Amino acid sequence: MTDGITLRPSSAVLPRPSFVHIPAGPFIYGPEECYERRAHCRALRPRQTLDLPEFWLAQRPVTNREWRCFLEQTGYAWAGQWHRVARGWRGVFLRAYAPGAHYPDGHDDFPVVDVSQADALAYCAWLSEQLQRPCTLPSEEQWEKAARGADGRTYPWGELPPRPELQWQRRFPVGLETYLYSLVVKPRREWARAGWYWRNGHPWPVGARPENVSPYGCVDMSGNIWEWTRSLYNPALPDFHVVKGGSWGYSIHHVKLYVRSACSVTIPSRGYRAPGTGFRVAIEH
């Protein structure tokens, strides 16, 4: 196989991910307006209607179980949580999963994190061999269409934001902002089925939030983890690619489906890794 990946015998069950068909046609990309003076607003591109050919996107992010199968089958050298950029988050990350947790053992149904874009593409190359289909990362536009549907909604369930307690943000002592929201939006019990409480913010098993489902049936596209795409963030910054979706460690502002952020694909060697960043797989026609 390419990129130095060699298949070898393993007792692990090969992953057979479920893919959702995203039909060809137009969709609304970008925000209607962004009134907030925040960095993520300055990074947004204008609202527009784009037309994409059909493609397939994994219903869920890649899990620890699937990732471990890949590692066992290929012997892939994965820096994972020992990456120097991510190391500072390691203690917080393990405490967030469970006291005494040892990553990546256990939590098989949690989304795999601490993967660089190069790691994700290596997995896609391996999965292409298993499925005999051309697997890759989605483009930014493909990811956003699968998450928002054709109507340009802000969240997978529509336009109403979660209630104030659901801030998609664990309160870490690292300078993250705490956001306050209008009390005009009345608390709704069902938001607990969509978001991540700041009082117990941490990753969850994929699909654990039953309301967090896109119009096409993709789960966990608003919160839980950031997800790699293959798209450049800015042509002037070729080392930075787009990540989408926000994560359990960020505020509600970052989990709006049109928000785009960026991570390096080269620093310090094969790219940025963090305990809030993973990926899902796409198949193009």
Residues 234-246: pLDDT tens digits? 989 899 999 999 8
* pLDDT score, position 108: 84
- Asked if residue 11 belongs to a domain, the reply is no
What pLDDT does 43 receive? Answer: 62
Q: Is residue 5 part of a domain?
A: no
CATH number for the domain spanning 278: value is 3.90.1580.10
**Is pLDDT larger for residue 279 or for residue 268?**
279
Asked if the structure places residue 6 within a domain, the reply is: no
pTM of the model: 0.78
272 within some domain: yes
- pLDDT score, position 180: 31
Residue 168's pLDDT is 45
> Which of 6-20, 190-204, 241-255 shows the highest mean pLDDT?
241-255
pLDDT of residue 219 exceeding 60, the answer is yes
Residue 162, pLDDT score: 58
Query: 6 with 71: CB under 8 angstroms?
Result: no
Domain count, the chain: 1
Please write the tens of the pLDDT for every residue from 64-102.
889 888 988 888 877 654 443 344 444 444 444 444 434
Residue 12 belongs to some domain of the structure: no
Least confident interval from 38-47, 86-95, 223-232, 273-282: 86-95
Owning domain of residue 276: 19-284
State pLDDT tens for residues 154-177.
999 888 765 544 444 444 433 333
